[in-house]
Amino acid sequence: MSETKKKPTTLKGILAVIGAGLVYLVSQVLGIDLSALTGGSSGKDGNPPVTAPAEPGQKSGQKPGQKEVARNDPAPPKAQDGAGLKTEKPKPGTPTAEKPAPKKPVVEEPKAETPAPKQRDDTALIRQLFNGMVSDRQVEAEGEIVHILPDDTDETPHQLFLVELSNGITLKISHNTKVAPYVPIKKGDTIRFYGEYEYNSKGGVVHWTHRTQGTTNKHPHGWLLHKGKKYE
């Protein structure tokens, strides 16, 4: 081949080298890849396209002058309202705060009721005293007021009324109102008495239904019980 035919080919090669150098310089200054502008294909002479060599520490595909940005993995989404949170299961036999262990019911032993004190009842004794015409005996009994007598105002005032016992005997109660309070009674009321029995043919009289006066008198105290209140 003659020298005249080789000159154009050599000139094109020189121009290609110069153009590649210019592209490299521009890419270094601007920080962009201009290889695409040159067509990115090999020349007619079969040589690969000229690209700028990678700078030290630069990864493949990274533009010149571009710094690598550290990529951090995205933080996991926060659980809202406790959703997605794992809870530890309580061990078998361990009571939890939400469901405390049930307490055994305490069974109280039934308390024994104290029986009310038994009241004294001398109704049968009064029958015996009347039949035997015996006097000066302390008696206690209960009866219904069947008649209210006028008060005795001679010397010492006494409240007088008749009481019928359950065995049919009628007693006269002579209550000393100078010593003891007056009893607000009416016919049909129930009254309990404690005093001294004196015989008479109508059934008998109960007197001394009050407290003993003086320190030398050893007579037992008497009383009347009407609607839960004691008069003595």
pLDDT tens sequence across 34-71: 555 555 444 444 455 545 455 555 555 555 555 555 55
pLDDT tens sequence across 79-138: 555 555 555 665 665 555 566 667 766 666 656 556 556 789 999 999 999 999 999 999
Q: How far apart are CA 134 and CA 174, in angstroms?
A: 18
Q: Among 140, 102, 135, 134, which Cα is nearest to 118's?
A: 140
DSSP 3-state of 173: strand
Q: 74-109: string of b/e by CB count within 10 Å (b at 16+)?
A: eeeeeeeeeeeeeeeeeeeeeeeeeeeeeeeeeeee
Amino acid of residue 231: Y
Higher pLDDT, 174 or 211: 174
Q: Where are the domains of the chain?
A: 1-55, 123-231
Q: Among 104, 86, 191, which Cα is nearest to 147's?
A: 191
pLDDT at position 43 is 47
pLDDT at position 16 is 77
Higher pLDDT, 155 or 89: 155
DSSP 3-state of 191: strand
Q: What is the chain's mean pLDDT, rounded?
A: 76
Q: What percent of the chain has pLDDT over 70?
A: 57
Q: Among 189, 195, 224, 185, which Cα is nearest to 122's?
A: 195
pLDDT at position 92 is 60
Q: How far apart are CA 8 and CA 15, in angstroms?
A: 11
Q: How confident is the model over 3-15, as a mean pLDDT?
A: 62
Beta strand pairing call for 205-207 and 170-176: parallel
What is the pLDDT confidence band of residue 22, given thresholds at 50, 70 and 90?
Answer: confident
CATH architecture for the domain at 123-231? Beta Barrel (2.40)
- Find the range with the poorest average confidence among 33-37, 163-167, 189-193, 222-226: 33-37
What is the pLDDT confidence band of residue 231, given thresholds at 50, 70 and 90?
Answer: very high
pLDDT tens sequence across 167-177: 999 999 999 99
Higher pLDDT, 165 or 61: 165
Number of H helices, E strands in the chain: 2, 7
Residue 112 exposure: Cα atoms within 13 Å on the Cβ side:
2
Alpha helices in 31-168 (DSSP H): 123-132
What is the pLDDT confidence band of residue 166, given thresholds at 50, 70 and 90?
Answer: very high
Residues whose CB is less than 8 angstroms from the CB of residue 42 and which lie 6 or more positions away in sequence, other chains included: 48, 49
pLDDT at position 37 is 53
Beta bridge partners of 223: 194
Q: Among 205, 226, 131, which Cα is nearest to 161's?
A: 205
Q: How far apart are CA 12 and CA 18, in angstroms?
A: 10
